[in-house]
Structure 1
C-alpha cells in the first residue's frame, strides 16, 4: 500500500503515514499525492479509526512540486490530482491527525488545514507562500482557513505569505497542541491511540456531520444528527456501553 514517497507503520489501531522524500523537504508532487490517496481509500476498507500524518526529515511538507511548475507541466491535471487528495482526506472515515514537524509551507499548510486535527513541534513554521511564486493559495485553503481563523486573519495569512510559528498557529486554532520536537510523534500517536478507542461509528458519523456543516442549514444539521443518532441507538456498541455504565452505577 505504501510507495516510494510514503511509508506506513501500524501501531495498534493507529496508522502512521510518513511523507518520505526528505531530500526535497517532502514536496507534494503528483506521485506522493497519488500514494496518499491510495492509502486513504484503502483504509476505509479496513476500518482504521485514526491516521497520523507526518514528514520524515526536517519538514512536514514544504509545498508543491516546484520542478514540475518550472517545466510548465502544472495545469488542469495537476490541480485535479491535488483536489482529489483534499477530497480523499475529507471523505476518509478515519480521523486524520497531522503531526507537523518543521516546515509546512504552501501545499503543506493546505494538508494541515485539511486534517481533522493537528499537533505541531515547537520549531514548526507554517506559511501560505503560493503568492511568492505568483500563484493563488489552493487545495481548499480559501475554504478551510476562514472557518478556523476568521475572514480577516485568513486574508492576512493568504495574502502576505508571512510565516507563523507553532505557538501562533495554536493561538489561532490551526493546531491543537504544541509539543517538543523529540516528543511530537510519540505524543501524537499516544493521543491517536486514545482517540481510536472511542466508538468508531460515532467518530465516523460526527466527522461527516462536521464536514457537511458549511452547506447545511440548522434544519439540515438537526435532521442529519437525528438520522445518525437513531442509527446508533440500535447499535451493539451503544447498548454495551450503556449497560456497562448502568451496571457501574448499580455497583456504586
Structure 2
C-alpha cells in the first residue's frame, strides 16, 4: 500500500483502491487531499494494469465536506484567482470506471465527490446532504448540477435549500446511488463488483462511459449518432475479435484493452 499525505492507495489486481485518510476530521476535503485524489485517479487512468478505480474513506466518514478552516477567510477575488475547482474538473476526464464506496457521511464537498464518481455503493448507515446553506454559501464543485440531473429540480432544491441529510435508503429511492450494503460488507461487495467490470473489454467499458455521459447533455438523435460512431469504432479493436471468437468457441474471452 502506498501512502500520500492524506490518502492511501492500494492495487488489488486490476482494481485501484483509494482510501481518503483524514479520519480525525472525517476526511474533510482540503485542497491537498483533492489534489492527491485527482493525481491518483489520473495515475490509475494511465496504468494499463488497472481497469477500475474504487474510492472510499477511512474511519466514520466517506468525506464530511470541505475543510472550512481553509476557506473561512477567503474573499471572492482570491477564490477566483485560486481557481480551486480546476482539479475537480479533471475528474470528468478520467476514462476508467470510478466506483465510490460511501461508508459514512458524504456531505457538501464529500457528496459532490461521490456524485462525480460513476457508480455509488453505500453503507446502510451512510448519510448524504448539502449543508452549505447553513454556512451562508452553496455547493460549488458540481452539487447543484449533478444532483439536479440525478434527482430532478424539486428534490434538488429541497435538499440544498434545507441543508438536511438523507439516508442511504432515500438516496437509493432517488436514484442517487446504486446499492445499499451492510457496513461490514461494503468494501468487499464494491471490490467484487469492480472485479466483474475489470473482466470486461476495457475499450468497450471506456466508450460506454463516454456515450452514457454524452446522453446527459444532448438530444436523443445526437446521442444515438455519437453512440453509433463508438459502436463502429470498437470493430477496429482486437477485443471485439477476441470477444466474438470466444463466444463462438464457447470459452471465456481474454481481453487486452487493444
Name the TM-score, length of structure 1 as normaliser. 0.92
Contact 2:44 2:53 in 1 (8 A): no
Q: What residue in structure 2 maps to residue 46 of structure 1? A: 47
Which consecutive segments of 4 or more residues in structure 1 shift more than 4 A? none
Q: What residue in structure 2 maps to residue 220 of structure 1? A: 222
Give 1:188 shift: 0.6
Structure 1 counterpart SS, 2:213? helix
Whole-angstrom distance in 2 between the partners of 1:45 and 1:111: 21
1:93-152 CA-partner distances (Å, limit 9, x unpaired): 110100001111100111111110001111111111111101111211122111111111
Q: What residue in structure 2 maps to residue 149 of structure 1? A: 151
Q: What residue in structure 1 maps to residue 84 of structure 2? A: 81
Whole-angstrom distance in 2 between the partners of 1:174 and 1:225: 24
Q: Which deviates further from its counterpart, 65-74 or 122-131? A: 65-74
Whole-angstrom distance in 2 between the partners of 1:156 and 1:82: 25
Question: Quick one: which of 108, 111, 128 aligns to 1:109?
Answer: 111
Q: Which runs of 5+ in 1 are unaligned?
A: none
Whole-angstrom distance in 2 between the partners of 1:77 and 1:120: 36
Whole-angstrom distance in 2 between the partners of 1:10 and 1:248: 31
Q: What residue in structure 2 maps to residue 96 of structure 1? A: 98
Whole-angstrom distance in 1 between the partners of 2:93 and 2:106: 22
Give 1:195 shift: 1.1
Structure 2 counterpart SS, 1:248? coil
Q: Which runs of 5+ in 2 are unaligned?
A: 252-258
Whole-angstrom distance in 1 between the partners of 2:159 and 2:81: 27
Whole-angstrom distance in 2 between the partners of 1:45 and 1:114: 19
Q: What residue in structure 2 maps to residue 33 of structure 1? A: 34
Contact 1:34 1:81 in 2 (8 A): no
Whole-angstrom distance in 2 between the partners of 1:77 and 1:185: 38
Contact 2:38 2:90 in 1 (8 A): yes
The count of corresponding residues between Structure 1 and Structure 2 is: 247
Whole-angstrom distance in 2 between the partners of 1:2 and 1:38: 13
**Structure in which a larger fraction of residues adopt helix:** 1
Whole-angstrom distance in 2 between the partners of 1:94 and 1:2: 22
Give 1:213 shift: 2.5
Structure 1 counterpart SS, 2:249? helix
Give 1:65 shift: 1.1
Tell me, yes or no, if structure 1 residue 178 matches structure 2 residue 180. Answer: yes
1:137-181 CA-partner distances (Å, limit 9, x unpaired): 121112211111111111111111110011111111111111111
Contact 1:40 1:88 in 2 (8 A): no
Q: What residue in structure 2 maps to residue 17 of structure 1? A: 18
Give the root-mean-square deviation of aligned CA atoms. 1.7
Contact 1:2 1:35 in 2 (8 A): no
1:175-206 CA-partner distances (Å, limit 9, x unpaired): 11111111111111111111111111111111
